[in-house]
Amino acid sequence: MTRLRHALADYLTMRRALGYQLARAEKLLAQFLTYLEDRGDTSLRTDTALAWATLPTGTTPSGWASQRLSVVRGFAAHLHTLDPATEVPPPDLLRGRARRATPYLYTDEEVAALIAAAATLRTSHRVATYQTLIGVLVVTGMRVGEAIALDRDDFDVGHGVLTVRRGKFGKSRELPLHPSAVTAIKQYLYREDRPRLAARTPALLVSTAGTRLLVCNVQQAFRTVVRRAGLTPRSAACRPRLHDVRHRFAVCTFLDAYRQGQDPGARLSLLSTYLGHVDPKYTYWYLSAAPELLQLAGDRLQRHLGGAS
């Protein structure tokens, strides 16, 4: 066993004696020491710690990289007391995990304002494209990237279904549509002002040039629509974003369950599948920032406790 491996064993023993479990830290530090051994390093330096934390090379520093570097920093501080030559990575070497924005939960009136504001965009086809895009996001809760990746063949007008192929994590899913949504998409596809060059791309939603929409252009156009709709931030962390239409879909689905007296828990797994989540726990984030939903959950709990007493 190398000197660093012995030091790691002592470090883990000492920390666990203080009540820390350190299962993840042990795994990560073992991987880090393997990385050092493969490089032939016998001491811990900041540059090698940073290189390992940001593997694979070339990726943008993320919360995960910051966590890995933090684990190394704790071990390095321990080593430094035994070997002053050990370098301890500074705490601000990587940005930490970015805090999630507070979801902007659009009201029905605000959704209507967005669609109305989209009518002020230049050219009739551009208006139709963004009104259709916003409408599809509202009624399906799909990610914007999934929406612009839709092909015409993904729209089954006979069965009223949109198929999301190769979504996040490579998952595919079918999303049933309300008849009104089917009609709206069908009308969009057969508009007389649809660009002639659109026939060259399989995309369902196309730009005025007849090409598939780009996320950067969609986000820019949405900011214009938000401004013209008169929507303003509710706080520094709560600004109207396109992704928040997905939050609205999730929250409205649960609100409907509560109001209809249905079991919200049973609806969670269905909602998770519909949204394309790999695990229902990821769906909880969409539901945690809605005061009305929390109030309904509290009322349900009170009724349950009242009936049990």
Q: Catalytic pick from 73, 78, 125, 277?
A: 277
Q: Catalytic pick from 78, 125, 246, 248?
A: 246
Provide the 10 A C-beta neighbour count for residue 116: 13
Instruction: Confirm whether 277 is a catalytic residue.
Output: yes
Task: Report whether 153 contacts 164 (CB < 8 A).
Answer: no
Q: Which helix (H) or strand (E) holds 176?
A: strand 173-176
The dihedral formed by the CA atoms of 168, 169, 174 and 176, expressed in degrees to the nearest 10:
-40
Q: Catalytic pick from 73, 78, 125, 143?
A: 143
Query: What is the CB-side half-sphere exposure of residue 151 using CA atoms within 13 A?
Result: 8
Instruction: Confirm whether 168 is a catalytic residue.
Output: yes
State the distance between the two ends of the chain, measured CA to CA, in whole angstroms.
62
Q: Which residues contact 294 (CB under 8 A, 6 or more apart)?
A: none
Q: Catalytic pick from 80, 243, 267, 300?
A: 243
Classify 86 in phi/psi space as left (phi over 0), alpha (psi -120 to 50) or beta.
Answer: beta
Q: Catalytic pick from 16, 24, 168, 191?
A: 168
What are residue 1's DSSP bridge partners?
Answer: none
Q: Catalytic pick from 104, 106, 130, 286?
A: 286
Q: Which residues are catalytic?
A: 143, 168, 243, 246, 277, 286
